[in-house]
Structure 1
């Protein structure tokens, strides 16, 4: 079954659907680095399928460059990544490129459309930080363009993912309009708030998942059984080498074999030997002292540090009334992290490493693991870009379980 991926990001959602047996016809994404990440991941899947993963590993070890990697596979593997800003002026160009991708794949129809417009305009935190509550943000209305793709391709089923704030944006009027437009396009739908933790992801991450189906198509919103596991965040990081602030350890540097959670979640497989993006930020001495204080509050008293609890010499901000939880430990003794967001690309204060012997913010790879990305998933671009791609993504493990249920229902 063929799917079309809109607002793809780094590919967390499409990774799940590809692993569940769907065929990705085209991925539309505006960000250049995210597009390159998607290309690299497509190449990985192709090389893995034909049994030539050694070539991909050479790329991870920087023994070959991206051009050499991409030129080693058929062009259609990388040419279905379409870098576009989705707007009214270029819809026809996007449609033309999708037609070419369908032709290459001998696809006569699109069975499924997945994706979710950028969520910052709907985010409760984003609205709180913007003086106009993001009412003038054009991203508020990208759902209208999503629906244009439903009208164009008439898929049997669609998945629309977004933040919980979607329900309350503009006093709920945007969601009401979205619902009306979906129904007028010939679709029935259900919207539910799902938590990635219930899918076996070590993260509390609630998202609105709208699943719609064509009125002439028999379908039901899938029932999701909660995934149980016993491991915690310490177990999630247990095979990774320790880092000092500003240090990186990449290459074949796992310090122990993968535990059952890492294997069962797909984060590691038995063939994985190469670790990438295990890079830590540098930190000034004041932040390191704050990080240590936050760790002590948690492990000694199970108290989350608030900014106004810091001694005066550690306070550099005058605002002592709002956003007081700006420093937060990813607690190692819990089964889940707090929600990973794109703000981690700006600083690591909200994601302090759990180990008292590693006073630093988490590495790119550790943040990817919290999001359930496989260790062999390579993020293109700078460290800042990698963090942003990860923070914006749908956890692949959540996507895979959801996709499997949808696949079963569609069959």
Structure 2
């Protein structure tokens, strides 16, 4: 009998995907997943449908027909019941909304029994805790953390713990939660106290068991009654790159185990480092699009080559001979005829090696690279991207600030460009290292996610970002491209969730 999963604040379903993949999908089964944003919910439901039909060849053919553009819907008359079931599992709910809370409670009343083995997973929205979000809030004169409801969304998660008492829960959030303060107090300390004693968090008393809050990477364990300041909160940070995820993603992950459940388990085991090249090498090269003027392959190539040759001449005049030679080399290698990609980008026969974890990523039934479409860039940004990627390949670090962006036409139009405030404005991902953290900011511009190949002169696509997040290639992100980027950037890497699921299964065995 699969262990039931309740997934709150699910996003596109990265955490649930990892649990659902364990033991070929037989160890865990998602009972309900809740997400408020419409495009993420659409992705979540489509993936729920895929899991429901993956052992039914006729129904699964409809899913592949949809992914391959041969059908407008992922289901047929024969699989419509499974599609309806996916809508029962994956729900668009805004937790904290009384009506939506009642809907969630109704499902749990109907589907969960007190004696069931089940797990609560999820991560409350992180905007209020993230360093970027807090920096933005500081610039708002009227902002008070005490009045920001996002600081307290974890209490919706906590309410389910108090009322339902899952044997195990897994809660994920950004690293900034460790230093975030409300009313002068560290909110992480309150979260530890509340999670370990759910009754006390709501001003109640009782004899029901509480929780031990375990680290997944150290022996650190917080128990009710302890002083939170006595433990190092950094012990709860999971550094994804240490466990074979091709991305330096550092997140706080709390493993809660009910005090009447034994918790003798093996923590996450370090794995060899995986690099960007290892997981995107088989994806076809694309050209960026031109955001203004004639967007054609010929015009794009002419524009990029012109920028790179001009930069090479300026570098030569400034005595930067090696850089000048490398820029000329990049210009000469810019190819004509590169596609710009698409929502469904045709797969061509390729001589490229299969990616690391090919069995995890690849699906031979998908004839397209899904969500592999280059975004449009201004001509001035093409100049910067081509330069930055060339510079990074030569010097093994991204160019920083005005000193390393000193060639003609590279300085952005920022009054404080030379103040150091924008030193990291442009960041190249390196083939031979894990990527930097894929965040939702990738939806706004590509400056932090420049492709390492200067001849493609672009930012990462949604599919490349999804590969870095370890989403399988048959995971089809819905919504417009900006929404797809948001979903990928906000997700938990499914492969990391898969490893955590193994620990949870060990506890509940």
TM-score (norm 1): 0.92
Bigger Cα displacement from structure 2, 279-288 vs 71-80: 71-80
1:258: Cα distance to partner? 5.5
- Secondary structure of the residue aligned to 1:313 is coil
- How far apart in 2 are the matches of 1:134 and 1:220? 42
Partner of residue 10, structure 1: 12
1:361 pairs with one of 459, 471, 494 = 459
- Secondary structure of the residue aligned to 1:244 is coil
Partner of residue 237, structure 2: 193
Is 1:174 paired with 2:180? no
**For this pair of structures, how many residues does the alignment match?**
405
Which one has a bigger Cα radius of gyration?
A: 2
Trace 1:242-253 onto structure 2 (pairs within 5 A).
242-246=285-289, 247-249=340-342, 250-253=345-348
Bigger Cα displacement from structure 2, 22-31 vs 124-133: 124-133
Is 1:241 paired with 2:284? yes
1:45: Cα distance to partner? 1.6
Partner of residue 210, structure 1: 254
Partner of residue 148, structure 1: 159
Partner of residue 184, structure 1: 197
1:222–1:409 Cα contact (<8 Å) kept: no
Bigger Cα displacement from structure 2, 54-63 vs 317-326: 317-326
1:188–1:213 Cα contact (<8 Å) kept: yes
1:313 pairs with one of 409, 432, 454 = 409
1:255 pairs with one of 328, 350, 358 = 350
- Secondary structure of the residue aligned to 2:18 is helix
- Secondary structure of the residue aligned to 1:303 is coil
1:19 pairs with one of 11, 14, 21 = 21
- How far apart in 1 are the matches of 2:114 and 2:446? 44
1:328 pairs with one of 419, 427, 437 = 427
2:282–2:355 Cα contact (<8 Å) kept: no
- Secondary structure of the residue aligned to 1:326 is coil
1:40: Cα distance to partner? 0.6
- How far apart in 1 are the matches of 2:156 and 2:50? 31
1:98: Cα distance to partner? 3.6
2:63–2:75 Cα contact (<8 Å) kept: no
1:72: Cα distance to partner? 6.0
TM-score (norm 2): 0.75
Is 1:343 paired with 2:441? yes
2:64–2:365 Cα contact (<8 Å) kept: no
- Secondary structure of the residue aligned to 2:361 is coil
1:66-91 CA-partner distances (Å, limit 9, x unpaired): 37467262522332112111116232
Is 1:377 paired with 2:509? no
Evaluate the alpha carbon distance shift between residue 258 and residue 60 of structure 1 in structure 2; reply closer, same or farther with a 3 A threshold.
farther
2:82 pairs with one of 57, 73, 82 = 73
1:405: Cα distance to partner? 1.8
1:221-273 CA-partner distances (Å, limit 9, x unpaired): 641111225x6322322211111113115133362465261415x12245554
- How far apart in 2 are the matches of 1:203 and 1:332? 12
- How far apart in 2 are the matches of 1:197 and 1:394? 13
- Secondary structure of the residue aligned to 1:8 is coil
- Secondary structure of the residue aligned to 2:91 is strand
- Secondary structure of the residue aligned to 1:26 is strand
- How far apart in 1 are the matches of 2:472 and 2:41? 18
